[in-house]
Amino acid sequence: MNVQETMASPLVWHPQTPAEAWLMKQTYGTEAVYISGGTLLRTHWESGTAAMPKHLIDLSAIKGLNEIRVGEAGLQIGGQMSLQACRTNDFLKRHFPMVTEAIRLIAAPSIRQLATIGGNVASLIGDSLPALLGYDAEVIWFNGTAEQRILLADWLRLANDPSQRTERLLLGIQLPFNELTETVGDEAGIDQVVISKIKRFCAYHKVGRREAFTPSVVTVAINGALSDSGIVNEIRIALGGGQMIPLRHEDLEKEIIGKSVDTPLLQHVYNRIFQLYEPREDLFASAAYRKQTAANLIVTELWKAAKNET
């Protein structure tokens, strides 16, 4: 790739609807890319890891994608919402604090003004992804004629398999409201659904090579609930970091649900994260270091929840 190819000026298109944007992408194919804030794409062009495409499809003029909507089922975040706007949204902070925390730790204020949540998610490696996985988020995308939804966990699993990877026009993210209920038997043997005294806990951590303004080495999110007696009722664990596509670890979650948080369980979780988490290593951090970090963080959060220290 020569310098001229890398920096040649592209044609910038400003579609007004998802259908127009989608059609432009179909028309220009690999010669076009969708662009939101452009903060990640710029790093690729400037470092020479990708050439400037002939066509940029700027998604910022599409109506309805720059807002947060609260519905009965949950919160819908438009893909064009800037990270800064997400970070300062009170409703998001109150109900989905891991997302706010993840965004707080992305880049720096000036970048968060431009960067969007849609670009972070569509990049497949954004640091918001484990937090969103921790809330069982769905992605909303446009298939050429209509909106479609898919669990973020499934979308990332497909993206992890190069033969299944397709470029999709992302419209937004849906975060569901989850009420935790527990079924218990009463004296007459009839099942009742009662809201029990459940202790919810959640934590998001990003470990980098310095305290702030750092790319991630490891990211973890854990969201769960313990019963009165310390049994795990619900748990979601997501791990990412660096250049890997974050994943939710549902097999591990199933192994934990219904168990008491004791030393054997914590040891089991620690060992299983070593097996399941497959971070990419680079010159700065080995895979073993990343595995150990992720395992320590998850085990610590489980232990803190059990000891009432969250």
Q: How far apart, in whole angstroms, are the C-alpha atoms of residue 289 and residue 279?
A: 10
Please report, as a single letter, which amino acid is at residue 257.
I
Token pair belonging to 124: 């497949």
Comparison of 85 and 299: residue with beta carbon closer to ligand FAD: 85
| Least gap, CB of 204 to ligand FAD (angstroms) | 13
> Does the footprint of ligand FAD cover residue 245 (CB under 6 A)?
no
Q: How far apart, in whole angstroms, are the C-alpha atoms of residue 92 and residue 232?
A: 25
- Strand, helix or coil at 18? helix
Comparison of 79 and 134: residue with beta carbon closer to ligand FAD: 79
> Does the footprint of ligand FAD cover residue 126 (CB under 6 A)?
yes
Interface segment toward ligand FAD; rule CB under 6 A; list 38-46, 158-166, 183-191, 233-241: 38-46
Residues 130, 246 contacting (CB under 8 angstroms): yes
H helices, E strands: number in the chain: 13, 14
> Does the footprint of ligand FAD cover residue 123 (CB under 6 A)?
yes
Comparison of 130 and 224: residue with beta carbon closer to ligand FAD: 130
Strand bridging mode 147-151 / 32-35: unpaired
Site string for ligand FAD, 74-113 (x = CB under 6 A): -----x---x----------------------xx---x--
Q: How far apart, in whole angstroms, are the C-alpha atoms of residue 154 and residue 283?
A: 30
**Count of Cβ atoms closer than 10 Å to residue 212 Cβ:** 9
Comparison of 206 and 291: residue with beta carbon closer to ligand FAD: 206
| Least gap, CB of 227 to ligand FAD (angstroms) | 35
Under the rule (CB under 6 A), what is the footprint of ligand FAD? Answer: 33-41, 43, 59, 79, 83, 106-107, 111, 115-116, 118-120, 122-123, 126-127, 169-170, 215
